[in-house]
Amino acid sequence: MENSYLISKVSEIEDWVISIRRDFHQFPELGMEEYRTRDRIVEYLIEMDIDHYIVANTGVVGIIRGRESGKTVALRADIDALPIDDKKEVPYRSRIEGKMHACGHDAHTAILLGVARILKDMEEDIKGNVKLLFQPAEETVGGALPMIEGGVLENPYVDGVFGLHVDNSLKTGQIGIKYGQMKAASDMIKIIIHGKNSHGAYPQNGIDAISIAGQVIVALQTIVSRNVDPRSSAVVTLGTIEGGYARNIIADKVEMAGIVRTLDENARDLVIHKVKTIVEDIPKAMGGHGELIRTESYTALLNDDSMVDIVKKNGVKLLGMENVYEMPYPSYGVEDFAYFTEERPAVFFHLGSGNEQKGIIHSGHTPYFDIDEECLSRGILLQVANVLEFLDD
């Protein structure tokens, strides 16, 4: 299909897509609370006469069936917002206090609805099927997994999945791709140190949980530097610490919380084992007791090289070679699209949304985050081209 035809089709719906994005931006909803968002998505799918169903409570799946049988490809957009106050001075600023689309999920949703409209108009020429996955809770519990468990990759069987994320570190008109590993795995950790209370004047009668916690903290910082292979890498972060009652009382309990990020499963297993050993053995040696509570979060995101090839090919064709940036290193950020990459050949790429001249320079998860809305049409164009390339291959 000629590039000029697709560009023309996308141009025709550009204002419509921007209006959708701004509507979602004004009414953000947190993970697994996206009821208005879900219902609005359903309204748009009904208007476009696209078959759909609800999954994972607030997720939506749309299905476009081509005239000819063939493969099935899925496109994913996350739909949830963040608990952040929107401090931008724009007409479409969040109307919900303490909630904001500070990571661009409103843009992802609008892009996917734009893709749906283009592909629905072309369904007579499509060979195969397209599944539209509007996924909740990427920022919290990871809505990808319950959607997969709800069968979104079956009936019909999905052969490949495409996902994207806006990125203000890239200019509008650019994309970022990464072969192989793109995102880290993460594990949330809670550490509880138990000691024994005593009067501060008589420390010999107590077991100081704060002193023990200090030793544990120091030891944890040696895991990466002294246990992880330098050719691999990991990050161990403690973000909170709480303990004690008064300045003259030996504390009997300290709680700390943090996160471990790793790039491969061997490093992940090693680091968690070392954390557990330190948390249990150091307090024991000092007369106390330590416990580790680990909550496994997202797995590492590994792109399928053949899927990256498709995105790269279309990026070069539609945006120019100079605007396709191959990321040299994986990110230590996490992304629950990783669950899709575990199940099917899949690719996740970054869509440039920054524009210094427009003041679009703030990164995600900050109260001034915004996007250059010209990126929406680029995202639609690329995803439509990715679908057609995949189904025709």
pLDDT of amino acid 371: 98
Evaluate if pTM is beyond 0.75: yes
373 is catalytic: yes
Task: Given the residues 29, 33, 139, 373, select the one marked as catalytic.
Answer: 373
How far is it, in rounded angstroms, from Cα 25 to Cα 23?
5
pLDDT of amino acid 1: 65
Give mean pLDDT, residues 210-233.
95
- Lowest mean per-residue pLDDT among 156-165, 167-176, 227-236: 227-236
Residue with the two structure tokens 């931008």: 88
5 is catalytic: no
- Does the CA dihedral 210-215-221-227 come out positive or negative? negative
- Cα 274 to chain centroid, rounded: 27
Pick the CATH number of 185-296 from 3.40.605.10, 1.10.10.60, 3.30.1490.20, 3.30.70.360: 3.30.70.360
Q: Which of 314, 307, 277, 308 is nearest to 294 (CA)?
A: 277
Cis upstream peptide for 367 (omega within 30°): no
Quick one: DSSP state of residue 227?
T
pLDDT surpasses 90 at 393: no
Give mean pLDDT, residues 11-28.
98
pLDDT surpasses 90 at 105: yes
Pick the CATH number of 3-183+300-392 from 3.40.1260.10, 3.40.630.10, 3.40.50.10470, 3.90.650.10: 3.40.630.10
pLDDT surpasses 70 at 307: yes
Of 372 and 4, which is predicted with more confidence? Answer: 372
- Which sequence spans correspond to the domains of the chain? 3-183+300-392, 185-296
Q: Are 298 and 137 in contact (CB under 8 A)?
A: no
The per-residue pLDDT for range 60-102, each reduced to its tens digit, is 999 999 999 999 999 999 999 999 999 999 999 999 999 999 9
Task: Given the residues 44, 298, 325, 339, select the one marked as catalytic.
Answer: 298
Tokens of residue 283, six digits: 């307090």
Question: How many other β-carbons are positioned within 10 Å of the β-carbon of residue 239?
Answer: 9
How far is it, in rounded angstroms, from Cα 342 to Cα 201?
57
